[in-house]
Amino acid sequence: MIKLNGLFDKKIAVVNIGIPSFAEDLKKQSVPVQHVDWRPPAGGNARMRSLIDKIKKGAKS
């Protein structure tokens, strides 16, 4: 039986990464939401990002 980790029985609480108005709309409806002040990883530096991904992939636990 697929229960999606009990999602349908939970109170929806959202982390919003990207367009701020999505978080504002959820707040208007009193839905718990946390907006993330997102910026491109490693300041958009592709080389840094691939190094980071390499390390994180190998970081295991």
- List interacting residues with other proteins (CB under 8 A): 1-5, 7-8, 10-22, 25-26, 28-29, 31-45, 48-49, 51-56, 58-61
Closest CB 7 distance from other proteins, rounded Å: 6
Closest CB 33 distance from other proteins, rounded Å: 8
**Between the CA atoms of 52, 49, 47 and 51, what dihedral angle is there, to the nearest 10 degrees?**
10
Pick the closest to residue 22 from 33, 11, 13, 12 (CA basis). 33
Closest CB 32 distance from other proteins, rounded Å: 6
